[in-house]
Structure 1
């Protein structure tokens, strides 16, 4: 089943990339695969394992993605997906990146390593010197301790190598097998690297070796400070957008104890050329940006802790090495070489952290570039906010902090935040956003307030931003949860934000998660008032106020309507009127009916060129249809 799904995704991605190429859309193929998999979680696309029998649905799907990439490349929802993809591929797989960096260094030195390995049975001094020089260059490049093209760096590396590998041993080295030579090179690199680091610590060398621990510490601090400034900028946008969206939707009491959310300032938003759906997508983007930035800051803290641990390990090992070699003319190889190898392994951890910080810096720069591409209507947003400063998340928590929630429904319990130790480590569903408002507003991220109470349902924790939302959730919790899942299906950039991919895949066979209910039409009393003194005062003398007078008049009019007036004429009438009538003879009229006719159309004939004998997919049609006149 998984292979069939992967084959289906590959075929769809191949078609999308072909369409993008024809429309000159430059996009990463891996991102298209990521986007396609998120969209296919929604079963309403009608695309299953049978790719070819659902051709029409596939074409609709491909057309949708192509149009999104062409027309909405800078839309917040698509940029949100891009930064999610970048974070997933980079920050969540840093160990893989570090291993890949080491493999890339080995690959770049592969030609030099092959030259060393291919030199067999070397006897002449010129060839021996050439092989020894190549080994020195290889070790210096692999360790990353300076540039061997500089004479001082080369001399230090050569002296360190001679202390463990004499030139006379080169001839014996050339007789080894390929696998043995590679193992020897790896061993020499570690020992020589450790020796050069020890010499630097003793102030007897260290040419070309940077003070990597200090540089990594300083780089971590500088990048962290820049990231904190980015977070402040993000929170300004988050507070602005959350304030606008929260003010735009108001509670609407449909009937007793039944509430909905309604957009209240639609005219004001339209006047300022603002789209509430666009603002909600912007809010999702900046919340995702905030989440990633906070995780990056946590990564900086972990890097700092690792740096301190590595520094302590290096100082401890240096002390052991100094004690081992102090005042000794000869030391057993089995004693000191493992220490040098351990020292080199510790140093490689500093190198890995340096590459890691460089990678994080590139990711943050690329994300900032994506932010600058989007059109953020700052002037219109400032106008709608007005002079009242945007409300922060902390201020929003204080708004309903005095409210206490309680539940008498079986299966739903409410815990007080004061009764929970280390509440900052409690995992809230939907990242602590109010799920009821999320559904009612079609995607508005309004933070819940745990100070009102933490609602526990089926072992999961939920928080709400208002007591009305909690009471609506209490009526049917599962319907509210299904409403969130249905919303996330329609908004794929929320799947990665809420981490709901596995849950959505588990309910893939359920096409309809929420049953739509018709709104009940209720009667209500309304009062109106007209303008006074529109006409001059007038007293009707026939006005009757008694209802029985009106009934009596109605009966009289009813009797009159049932009466009949008739007249007769006698022979003694003085004059008689003659009445004349005129008739018309029937007239014959002719009409014309439709006439049968025919047309002759040419017979279509099309030849598809390139179906056989070609290795690419460049086929095209040749029209062989001939006009009717030639037949």
Structure 2
């Protein structure tokens, strides 16, 4: 069977599994089905030979096994797979996510930008309309207030007029499209820098949130929440591990050992994914500390430049406004990134629901009351200590 034919067979199997699950009242994503198919095929207990073509009987057996597994509402293994699939589909590296976020913003701005760059305004009325569109574009791109808020529009218009008066529209219209787009981006940064500077001086800032302060409060709160989630999962992990050690080898147990092991894997998976998210939040905290210092220094430099001066060369002050704007964009990126990480943390929680249902605290706690429950750190310490002791004995 060719690679193309094999892909076609697999797609048909996935589709049929999805249809059977749907017919039984359970909608399942193709990605999840594909993950389960792979897990079932690779599990040696199911007897599939990956080196030969599946027979019709193999296909029917595979479909039945997958459907049964996907419809099992008491399966920790399935919840662990769902958790992994969710994470794989939603998590990317920080840089990849921000790149995608910026691409989405650009695509949303494209129609507004095109309307401006394609304009052939001639009359005074048309030119005034074009100028208002540029103000709206600047506000949308900067994210500093709503273009429907009159106070915000007035403030942005005043800032724009200081660097791009109406008389410059003729020159703007004579530019080629790419140069117009570049100038729109530059105008956005300058207007943003001016408005941020005015806000800091107490002379404006309508509709501008205090992002540094928001982040300084949100990052510790997010870290605290993730730590709490981690501690809950680790508490479960340590108890399950102790129970499994105690039950292993015994003829009779009060709870299902295999199911308990699957529950342990589920909690471990949650712990691993939370640690990945937490590392990203810690990175955000480090970025915030660095950006906050840079922003403060940039603002002070700008104040020193314009202080007690009636006329300042544009070549001297414009780059400072642009730098201020770029730093603010970084704050905005951190807000978006933190929001995504918080949502992911919350969305992992439902995959732990079976713990309370199948192994509630009132069942587990009595079972561990007479055995020693150790943390990972304690186990590592014991292991390291025993290794050190063995080495000492060996060399004496």
TM-score greater than 0.5 by the shorter chain? yes
Q: 2:39, 2:323 → 1: CA distance?
A: 45
What aligned pairs does 1:339-488 form with structure 2 within 5 A after superposition? 339-372=320-353, 374=355, 375-378=357-360, 379-388=362-371, 390-397=373-380, 403-404=386-387, 416=388
Matched residue SS, 2:164: coil
Name 1:115's counterpart in structure 2.
115
Distance across 2 between alignment mates of 1:217 and 1:76: 38
Which region of structure 1 is more displaced relative to structure 2, 144-153 or 237-246? 144-153
Deviations 1:228-267 (A, max 9, x none): 1112211221121111101012xxxxxxxxxxxxx21x42
Aligned to 1:106: 106
Measured after TM superposition, the shift of residue 356 of structure 1 is 1.0
Give the deviation of 1:159 after TM superposition: 0.9
Distance change >3 Å, CA 188–CA 62, structure 1 → 2: farther
Matches within 5 A, 1:260-339: 263-264=249-250, 266-269=251-254, 274-339=255-320
For each residue in 1:83-110, what CA deviation from the matched residue of structure 2 results, as whole angstroms up to 9, or x when unmatched? 2233333444332222222222233333
* Cα distance in 1, alignment partners of residues 10 and 199 from structure 2: 55
Cα deviation digits, residues 398-436 of structure 1 (max 9, x gap): 6666644xxxxxxxxxxx4xxxxxxxxxxxxxxxxxxxx
User: Corresponding residue for 1:549?
Assistant: none
Query: Displacement, 1:2?
Result: 8.0
Q: Matched residue of 1:71: which SS?
A: coil
Mapped partners of 1:57, 1:385: distance in 2: 44
* Counterpart for residue 509 of structure 1: none
Confirm or deny that 1:220 pairs with 2:202.
Answer: no
Greater CA drift, 312-321 or 27-36: 27-36
Q: Are residues 238 and 42 of structure 1, via their aligned partners in 2, closer, same or farther at CA, if it must alter by over 3 Å?
A: closer
Q: Per-residue displacement from partner, 1:278-307 (whole Å, max 9, x unpaired)?
A: 000001111121222233333222211111
Shift of residue 4, structure 1, vs aligned partner: 7.5
Relative to structure 1, the CA distance from residue 57 to residue 191 in structure 2 (aligned partners, 3 Å threshold; closer, same or farther) is farther
Query: Is the radius of gyration larger for structure 1 or structure 2?
Result: 1
Question: How does the TM-score come out when normalised to structure 2?
Answer: 0.86
Say what the alpha-carbon RMSD is for the aligned residues: 2.9
CA contact under 8 A between 1:146 and 1:208: conserved in structure 2?
yes
Distance 1:153 1:401, change over 3 A: closer
Matched, 1:154 2:153: yes
1:235–1:170: structure 2 CA closer, same or farther, 3 Å change rule? same
Partner of 1:23: 24
Instruction: Name the residue aligned to 1:590.
Output: none
Distance 2:335 2:220 in 1: 12
The aligned runs of 1:211-250 (5 Å cut-off) are: 211-249=210-248
Which residue does the alignment assign to 2:394?
none
TM-score, scaled relative to structure 1: 0.56
Shift of 1:8: 6.0
**2:241/2:264 contact within 8 Å kept:** yes
With over 3 angstroms needed to count, the CA separation of the structure-2 counterparts of 1:391 and 1:202, relative to structure 1, is same
Counterpart of 2:172?
A: 173
Q: Distance in 1 between matches of 2:4 and 2:312?
A: 59
Which runs of 5 or more residues in structure 2 are unaligned? 392-396
Contact 2:155-2:206 at 8 Å conserved across structures: yes
> In structure 2, do the counterparts of structure 1 residues 183 and 37 end up closer, same or farther at CA, with 3 Å as the change threshold?
farther
The superposition leaves residues 479-512 of structure 1 with CA deviations (integer Å, 9 ceiling, x where unpaired) of xxxxxxxxxxxxxxxxxxxxxxxxxxxxxxxxxx
CA shift at 1:209, angstroms?
A: 0.8
Partner of 1:267: helix, strand, or coil?
A: coil
The structure carrying a bigger strand percent of its residues is 1
Size of the aligned set, in residue pairs, is: 386
Distance 1:70 1:147, change over 3 A: same
Answer whether contact 1:8 1:49 (CA < 8 A) is retained: no
Aligned to 1:512: none
In 1, Cα distance between equivalents of 2:348 and 2:10: 27
Q: SS of the residue aligned with 1:390?
A: coil
The equivalent residue for 1:199 is 198
Matches within 5 A, 1:420-569: none
What corresponds to 1:46 in structure 2?
49
Mapped to 1, the partners of 2:51 and 2:322 lie a distance apart of: 55
Instruction: Note closer, same or farther for the CA distance 1:17–1:308 as it changes in structure 2 (3 Å cut).
Output: same
Structure-2 separation of matches of 1:373 and 1:137: 50
- CA deviations on 1:285-339 (whole Å, 9 max, x unpaired) are 1112122223333322221111101111212222332333333333333333222
Moved more, 377-386 or 307-316: 377-386
Note the C-alpha offset of 1:34.
Answer: 4.1
Do the aligned residues in 1 keep the contact of 2:22 with 2:28 (CA within 8 Å)?
no
1:190–1:341: 8 Å Cα contact kept in structure 2?
Answer: yes
Q: Distance in 2 between matches of 1:358 and 1:55?
A: 48
1:81 maps to: 81
Aligned-partner Cα distance in 2 for 1:49–1:327: 83
Q: Deviations over 1:433-482 (max 9, x none)?
A: xxxxxxxxxxxxxxxxxx867xxxxxxxxxxxxxxxxxxxxxxxxxxxxx
401 and 133 in structure 1: CA distance in 2 versus 1, 3 angstrom threshold: closer
User: Kindly tell me: are residues 277 and 195 of structure 1, through their superposed partners in 2, closer, same or farther at Cα, counting changes over 3 Å?
Assistant: same
2:116 and 2:130 in contact (8 A); partners too: yes
Runs (5+) with no aligned partner, structure 1: 250-262, 405-415, 417-450, 454-631
**Range that drifts further, 375-384 or 131-140:** 375-384
Partner Cα separation in structure 2 for residue 97 and residue 229 of structure 1: 26
